[in-house]
Amino acid sequence: MSAVCAPLPGLRAALLAWFDAAGRDLPWRHGKEGQREPYRVWVAEILLQQTQVVRGLQYYGRFLQAFPTVEALARAPVEDVLKAWEGCGYYARARLLHRAAQQVAASGWPSGYDGWRALPGVGPYTAAAVTSLAYGERRAVSDGNVRRVLSRLYGEARPTDAWVQARADALLDPARPGAWNEAVMDLGATVCTPRNPRCPECPLVAHCAAWAGGTPTAFPAPKVRAAVRAVTAVAVLIGDPQQAVLERRGGGLLGGLSGLPMREVAPGESLAQALQALCERLGAQSGEPLGQVTHRMTHREITLHVYAAHAPLPRLEVAEAALSRLDHKALALWNVRHAGLFAGA
């Protein structure tokens, strides 16, 4: 399939004219092009790495209300940062954002791409996004939306990361780099969508190789996904959904969060054996089963069996702790269980 053959000025003009008329009005885009507040742009880009914009808007507003400046974020205890991040998932992002904010508060804002790349948790995409949007630096971004748009535009079924970045660099409008990056991302998010692209509305339809070939949804070809590992675990609720025994989690995905005491069921181990081992560690006595919940995290799907338990251990205010969605689901079982008991009374 042939690549794009339109002159760059015409292609750029078509996309930017569409963006100026139809671009999304997002809170971190307010301000003069190339002179936006870096903190607001940075928080948005970190948050949206694994969160859709529709959901991310409410998290973004909540986070900025809690920490309106980089200095406020730097001063806050990490527990408060994780609580404000609650529900966004991928909590390592919040911990790294907090560490980076402390560096910025101590040393000042980075002046360019290389300085941003040196901050914890800031990769090539985030550095390019912040420096182009906030400073007008000529840096092209490469994310899933950009990959899809360029794959279809050029008719490249299996674009590598290097290929996408090279094409993005070549297309970048040097006069409006931030607007160009936002335009490509908005096009992928609202028009050049994965399953039902609105090709007749696309400002680049006349230049699109995939459209010309009649099969736009064939581009890019599906990626080979890593197998999802099934995990079975047990947890105990000592207390109730308002006050409960909570433990600080370790690990990359949930590290730093609080949650119900939990134990993964080892190979060859039964649920009863795992529950007994967990209760022995806590010095607790197990009670009735509350039910089970499932939760998908990256390449793992957890089935968590939740039991009531009793132990003379200190309980914490659940509302003040940063919990994962998995733990919120587990706590909700208590309400379901007791609602059923009251209904049958």
Query: What pLDDT score was predicted for residue 335?
Result: 86
What's the distance, Cα to Cα, between the start and end of the chain in Å?
A: 70
Which tokens in the block code for residue 4?
A: 């794009």
Q: Is the peptide bond before 267 cis (omega within 30 degrees of 0)?
A: no
In this prediction, residue 340 has a pLDDT band, given cuts at 50, 70 and 90, of low
Is the four-CA dihedral 85, 90, 93, 99 of positive or negative sign?
A: positive
For 333, the 3-state DSSP assignment is helix
45 annotated active-site? yes
Q: pLDDT tens-digit profile of 142-154?
A: 999 999 999 999 9
- The class of domain 8-218 in CATH terms is mainly alpha
Mean of all residue pLDDT scores within the chain: 92
Token pair 């995905």 is found at 253
Catalytic residue, candidates 33, 45, 137, 317: 45
Give the count of beta carbons closer than 10 Å to the beta carbon of residue 219.
27
Residue 319 is given by DSSP the state: G
Which tokens in the block code for residue 184?
A: 């490509």
Q: Where are the domains of the chain?
A: 8-218, 229-343
Q: pLDDT tens-digit profile of 248-280?
A: 987 655 667 899 999 999 999 999 999 999 999
Question: In the beta sheet, which residues pair with residue 305?
Answer: 234, 292
In this prediction, residue 2 has a pLDDT band, given cuts at 50, 70 and 90, of very low
Query: What pLDDT score was predicted for residue 253?
Result: 58
Backbone phi and psi for residue 308, each to the nearest 5 degrees, phi listed first: -75, 150
Which residue in 274, 249, 252 sits closest to 327, CA to CA? 249
CATH of 229-343, one of 3.90.79.10, 1.10.10.10, 3.40.47.10, 3.10.20.30: 3.90.79.10
Tell me the C-alpha distance between 24 and 190, whole Å: 9
Backbone phi and psi for residue 52, each to the nearest 5 degrees, phi listed first: -70, 150
Asked whether residue 114 carries a pLDDT value surpassing 80, the answer given is: yes
Asked whether residue 4 carries a pLDDT value surpassing 70, the answer given is: no
